[in-house]
Structure formats: C-alpha cells, structure tokens
C-alpha cells in the first residue's frame, strides 16, 4: 500500500474532527486533479554495475496484508526469516538451502531478533516469543499490551520490546511480566510501524510516534534522557504526524535518527544532545557508510548527509515517490528497492544511479542485509533472494 494512500485513508477517517484535515488531502492534488505524489517514471540509465541473483527461496506468505516489515537477520552464515502467517525458517546464506522450517500457526508482526542462540519474534496477537535458533522450538512466550512491529532488543539479561500502543517494555530474561514499562503519548494519527529499539550500555533506546527518542535505564526503568526529533506542526492531525519509525543507526557515540515530517538528527548517545540535524521526512530509518548518513525521504529523495554535520554530500531526486526502502550500503554503492520491485544502486561517492534490476514483483519493505559483498532481500511476497554485484564493463 502506498504511503500516500495510507495517509489518505487516515485523513478520511478523521474528517469528523474538523474540515482542516480534508483540506490537507486536497493539497496532494493539483488544481487539475493530478496526483502530485504519483511515482515518477524510471529513466534509462547507463549501468556500470550488474545485479546477479545467486539463489532464491520462499518464506511463507511474506509480509501479508498487515503492512508489516518483518526483517530477517544474518548470524554465522545463516539467515533467519519469518512470515506474517507464522512460518520461521533458517536458510543457509551460501546456497539458500533451508536448514529447518517451522510453522507457529499464529500471525507474526515483528522480528527477527537474535541473541545467543535464540530468535525473538513479536506476535500480531500481542506477544513475544523466543525460539531456539537450532531447530525453531518455542522456548519462552509472554503477552504484551499490543502488536510488536519491530525486532525485540535482547542482551544476556534483558528483552526489550516496543509495542504499537506506545509502550517500551523491559523483561528480565525468562520473566513472565515486565520489570518496567515506559509509556509515551500516542497521537490521534500515526504511521503504521515503530522504531527498532536498541540496547546500548545501561540504556534501552527507542523512538516514538510523538517524535521523541527516549533512553531508559534498564536497571531502574527511569528515563536517562529524551530528545525531540519531530515537532508536530500544522492545523490538521495529518500535518502533525511526526512518527519515528525504522532503524536508528549507531556509530561510536553518535545515534542517527529520522522521523516523518521532521528531521534526520545526530544525537550524543550519552546525553541525547543534538549534534546536528537536517530537515527530512522518512519512515524507513537511517544507515551509514563512507562518512555519510543515508536516508530516503517519502518524496523519493535519497540523501547522503555528512556524518560530521556539514550538510549534504549529495542528494538524488530521480526516484520521486517510488516508496523507497531504507538505503543500504553494499560495497561502494547504496541499495534501495522501490514499490515496483526495482533494486536501484547509487554511488556512495556522488549519488548517481549506476545499476538497476527488477528483483521482485512489488515492494520489499523489510530491511536488506548487506554482508561480504552480497545483498539478501526478502520481498513482500515472501521471496528471500541473494544477489551479488559485478562490473558491467
């Protein structure tokens, strides 16, 4: 589902609260009725790199109809992936052979997390599950207050999970109830998704739909710091959406965060102090490489902001409104998949599109895995594939 269509449905459901919401919807169209957020047509490129598929295998029904983003994880040469209807599989990253596959016979909405031989998944029914990475056997399960739309963050002592109803929960390993709960203010309208929580030192860190990033001390449950990334503005509820969704990236003592209708910001991990910020509207999160912070705007702009805070190194505007996945560095390129299943490769140096391939019949919302020069991509229909890049010369 296109993001603009998702917001349109939210707007129509909220028109009873005031006429200003409907006027925002009208702003998406020109006076002639042209959809200003329609995806641009792809232009021909002179490719200098080719995309070669090495293997492909199916993981159930993929993301299903719930607008989920169930992301696989690669550990010690094995990819662990899950589908929305409950299939979980371990796939050999070298050749795509399945080492095992199990059906949980229940809907999955978030994952996959990994720690010390265990997988961690979120259930659409409001639960957390721990499975053995050896054979997929269920080890531990506990109910939570809402859907889990991102992988849990796990350490030796803690399992931290973010729920769609605005809570961050800290479970001591194996516990039946949370030791602490942080509750954020949930706006009237939010984007379908959450941030992916992090465990760093003594803190659990998460971004919320109110535009704040919060660090919670895992031992006490107290707030260590909070920092506002998105500031709600405008007269309608749609204008005021500032969700922080997707992946927050860590490099050294810096945390890179992006929000919808807000900013991409660099924060000091120790204090939450803003080091720098740039205006951005993103729902997929950040990545880093070549001294850059990469982010895809909902308008299709791919930006590389200098990590040192000196502004944009480059911006590419050729993929307007093509609903790009989170930019992922691979070799000397940045990869992103659009709504039609095209994989685009941009140079990390100058942002030029240097390669393109049709790799799926539609979107691939799950974050790609980049490892050893390969890209592993799980598309929305459940096809998990491995690709390598070769010079076109």
Confidence of residue 259 (pLDDT cuts 50, 70, 90): very high
pLDDT at 30: 55
d(CA 156, CA 115): 8
Mean pLDDT, residues 333-348 taken together: 98
366, 376 in Cβ contact below 8 A?
Answer: no
Predicted TM-score of the model (pTM): 0.92
Phi/psi at 353 (5° precision): -75, 115
Residue count of the chain, please give it.
393
Tens digits of residue pLDDT in 223-257: 999 999 999 999 899 999 999 999 999 999 999 99
pLDDT at 254: 98
Helices then strands, counting H and E runs in the chain, come out as 2, 32
pLDDT at 190: 93
Mean pLDDT, residues 339-352 taken together: 98
Confidence of residue 20 (pLDDT cuts 50, 70, 90): very low
Alpha-carbon Rg of the chain, whole angstroms?
A: 20
59, 366 in Cβ contact below 8 A?
Answer: no
Phi/psi at 185 (5° precision): -80, 125
pLDDT at 270: 97
pLDDT at 32: 67
Tens digits of residue pLDDT in 278-299: 999 999 999 999 999 999 999 9
344, 353 in Cβ contact below 8 A?
Answer: yes
Tens digits of residue pLDDT in 263-279: 999 999 999 999 999 99
Confidence of residue 31 (pLDDT cuts 50, 70, 90): low
Share of residues in the chain with pLDDT > 90 (%): 89
Tens digits of residue pLDDT in 185-234: 999 999 999 999 999 999 999 999 999 999 999 999 999 999 999 999 99
Place of tokens 């660090």: 215
6 has pLDDT over 70: no
Mean pLDDT, residues 337-361 taken together: 98
Confidence of residue 159 (pLDDT cuts 50, 70, 90): very high
Mean pLDDT, residues 23-46 taken together: 73
Tens digits of residue pLDDT in 54-109: 999 999 999 998 889 999 999 999 999 999 999 999 999 999 999 999 999 999 99
């Amino acid at each position: 589902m296109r993001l603009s269509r998702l917001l349109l449905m939210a707007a129509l459901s909220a028109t009873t609260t005031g006429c200003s919401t409907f006027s925002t919807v009208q702003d998406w169209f020109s006076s002639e009725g042209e959809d200003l957020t329609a995806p641009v047509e792809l232009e021909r490129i002179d490719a200098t790199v080719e995309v070669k598929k090495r293997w492909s295998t199916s993981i159930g029904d993929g993301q299903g109809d719930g607008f989920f983003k169930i992301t696989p994880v690669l550990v010690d040469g094995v990819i662990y992936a899950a589908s929305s209807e409950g299939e979980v599989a371990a796939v050999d990253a070298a050749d795509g052979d399945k080492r095992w596959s199990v059906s949980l016979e229940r809907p999955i909405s978030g994952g996959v997390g990994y720690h010390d031989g265990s997988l961690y998944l979120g259930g659409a029914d409001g639960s957390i599950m721990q499975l053995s990475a050896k054979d997929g056997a269920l080890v531990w399960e506990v109910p939570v207050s809402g859907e889990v739309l991102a992988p849990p963050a796990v350490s030796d002592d803690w399992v931290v999970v973010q729920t769609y109803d605005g809570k961050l929960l800290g479970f001591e390993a194996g516990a039946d109830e949370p030791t602490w709960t942080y509750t954020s203010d949930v706006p009237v309208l939010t984007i379908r998704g959450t941030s992916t929580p992090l465990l760093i030192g003594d803190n659990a860190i998460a971004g919320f739909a109110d535009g704040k990033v919060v660090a919670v001390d895992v031992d006490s449950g107290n707030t260590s710091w909070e920092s506002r990334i998105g500031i709600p503005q405008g007269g309608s509820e749609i204008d005021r959406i500032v969700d922080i969704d997707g992946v927050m990236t860590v490099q050294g003592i810096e945390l890179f965060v992006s929000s919808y209708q807000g900013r991409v910001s660099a924060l000091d991990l120790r204090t939450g102090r803003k080091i720098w910020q740039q205006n951005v509207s993103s729902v997929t999160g950040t990545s880093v490489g070549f001294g850059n912070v990469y982010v895809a705007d909902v308008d299709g702009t791919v930006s590389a902001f200098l990590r040192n805070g000196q502004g944009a190194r480059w911006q590419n505007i050729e993929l307007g409104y093509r609903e790009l996945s989170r930019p992922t560095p691979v070799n000397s390129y940045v990869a992103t998949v659009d709504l039609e299943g095209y994989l685009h490769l941009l140079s990390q140096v100058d942002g030029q599109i240097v390669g393109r391939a049709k790799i799926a019949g539609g979107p691939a919302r799950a974050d790609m895995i980049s490892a050893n020069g390969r890209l592993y991509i799980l598309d929305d229909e459940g096809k998990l594939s491995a690709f390598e890049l070769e010079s076109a010369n």
